[in-house]
Chain A
Amino acid sequence: MQLKRFLAIFKARNHEFWRDRASLSWNLAFPLLLIFGFTFIFSGDGKSELKIGVVAQSLPKTLESIKYTDFILYQPNTYQKDEILKKVSHHQIDLLLDPASQFYWVNSTSPKGYLAEQLVVAKFPKAQSQTIEGRAINYVDWVIPGILGMNIMFSCLFGVGYVIVRYRKSGVLKRLKATPITSFEFVAAQIASRFIIVVTISSVIFLATWFLIDFAVLGSLLTLLIILCLGTLSLIALGLLIAARSSSEELTGGLLNFASWPMMFLSGVWFSLEGAPKTIVIMADFLPLTHLVQAARKVMTEGATLYEVQYHILLLIIMSVIFFIGAGVSFSWGKNR
């Protein structure tokens, strides 16, 4: 690998992107519009129904008569108390009741928690309360990592894939092939350039929306940046792998859609995969966007550390390496299909 050759292509690609004002504006405007749109749509309180977690094998008879309340049962032997208490702290459950020990946990800053507490105290007058604090995590907080992740995915896959196919079709690659540059140098320069572009734009969008909407970011920004970088790398390398040989925009467009649509629906962008069939969960595990979104969401809504998302980090690294080597090996300068 010669640094000079790598930098020559890297610089040219950067010039191409940043000087294309129309494309740059759209890259910034589209995700902002999407986020503001979703915030507007989901800015209400959500369902008015109360959600009470009950640690019991079946619902106690004293609670059966309560209307308009969603009771979620947690099996006493298997439930993970810390996880459920996190949900209470983030207002995802309004109250957690353990009828056997006559204890309940409620978030003192949650208005719906207060209502749930009044109901529970009426039915279990001897129950003792434990107070938990924490800001509410609503759907907007939950979905923002997904939307940002989805935007990164499209920017990486289509931004790299179409550029390579355009280069191949118009003869740019043929001209470069006639120089001493190697396919790995070229592929690495494309990855590096797109990486800087996506990380910069995503960071700007993240900071701007965070400032304007004030969504939840409970974890460290540095951890988020690391996840953003690794997710971006893996998705760019996947885009290059898809466009490694084709010179047909139609075929490449189809292949990119084939890769991006499953990620949109299976990677937990819009809804949680909790409770989804096991096959779907296994399939989702093979998609880089799943690990980008899930790791970012854990950091943003649960305050997870880098250590706590190590599984996702590791898989993103492995995928990046595999896709990069695959793209470098299968890369073709000429018109193949």
Chain B
Amino acid sequence: MKASNAGAVDPNSAIFVSNLKKSYALLNAVNAISFEVKKGSCFGLLGPNGAGKTTTLEMLEGLIIPDSGFIEFPCLPKNKSIQQHIGIQFQETALQDFIRVEESLEMFADLYGSRNKIEELIQQCHLQDFLHQDTKKLSGGQRQRLLLALALIHDPEILFLDEPTTGLDPQSRRNFWNLIKSIKETGTTIVLTTHYMDEAEFLCDDIAIMDQGKIIARGSPEALLSEHFKGAVIRLPKTPEVLQHFNNNQRAKETELFIELFTDSIETEIKQLIQHNVSIDKIKIDNPNLDDLFLKLTGHELRS
């Protein structure tokens, strides 16, 4: 990793990143970001497409060389290749054609020099039912579980997951989350990129929200939400009477489907709506989530 000014590195950190930069032509993909990932934690990099999450992740994985900055893995031995200690699941991974699941596991195990973990991973990632199947014929959920098993085949200390549940159905996503939780319980440090807020809230101890190559918010999901929001969010359908009522109201925000109003007192707001004859039939009241936070911080939605 490129060294500039390391500063003080906590030996209990799994990853220490300082002032990391990467540009492509005129685009600043990653613009001087710094963060630390605690050993054994699940760290989430959140942001819309093009925010710089994958570039950051691939610099950590050693696949992209940073323009400048400093990356260190204090918990890993210095004398060995980093590839022996990290497991990677890419956003899009292709495997060789005409290869069966069990052959993929054996091939990757041999690339790392040991087949000891294969049996355990077959159980842990629930691969038993399709072990003899061609990898090209797996369902989305089966495929992601196989790719996760391949990432864990050498028992890595740090696991990088790049949008691991994109494209999965809700049930498969939920199963995958439980799987990641069980891996986390073994003490493996996990770095995850996602643009699913519920995924980050369910899995991550610590998150960094990225936009345009920069980290714009950092902390645990709970801490970030309590820092930026008090109370609840009221969502009203965009009917003509609602739009008229909130016209020029600085507190209300218009989204694609709703008019949103953040408030400390739900009761007061509803009373006012009734007083002004605004229908509350289809009103929705939620606690603010990370999507709301992102919208508040950047002015655009997280999945854009």
Contact = CB atoms under 8 A, between A and B. Distances in A.
Contact of A5 (B90, B99, B103, B110): B110
Nearest to B150: A175
A175 B99 contact: no
Nearest to A5: B111
A330 interface: no
Interface in A67-100: none
Contact of A12 (B63, B81, B86, B96): B96
Nearest to B92: A171
Interface stretch (A14-22, A134-142, A228-236, A247-255): A14-22
B226 interface: no
Contacts of A8: 106-108, 110-111
Nearest to B106: A8
A184 to B, nearest CB: 14
B94 A180 contact: no
A52 B90 CA distance: 72
B98 A179 contact: no
Given A8-B107, A175-B93, A15 B98 contact: yes
B99 A15 contact: yes
A180 to B, nearest CB: 5
B97 interface: yes
B95 interface: yes
From DSSP, what is the main secondary structure of chain B's interface residues? loop
Given A12-B103, A15-B103, A180-B81, A175 B111 contact: no
A19 B103 CA distance: 13
B88 interface: yes
B94 A2 contact: no
Nearest to A173: B94
Contacts of A178: 61, 63, 83, 86, 88, 90
Contacts of A176: 111
Interface in B105-124: 106-108, 110-113
A172 B111 contact: no
Contacts of B92: 171
Given A178-B88, A179-B83, A12 B94 contact: no
Contacts of B88: 175, 178
Contacts of B107: 8-9, 11-12
Contact of A175 (B86, B90, B110): B90
B110 A172 contact: no
Interface in A172-193: 172, 174-181
Given A174-B63, A180-B84, 18 more contacts: A4-B110, A8-B110, A8-B111, A9-B107, A9-B111, A12-B107, A15-B98, A15-B99, A167-B94, A171-B92, A172-B94, A174-B93, A175-B90, A176-B111, A178-B83, A179-B108, A179-B112, A334-B63
Interface of A: 2, 4-5, 7-9, 11-13, 15-16, 19-20, 167, 170-172, 174-181, 334
20 contacts: A5-B110, A5-B113, A7-B110, A8-B107, A8-B108, A12-B96, A12-B107, A13-B96, A15-B99, A15-B103, A16-B99, A20-B97, A167-B96, A171-B90, A171-B93, A176-B111, A178-B83, A179-B83, A180-B83, A180-B111
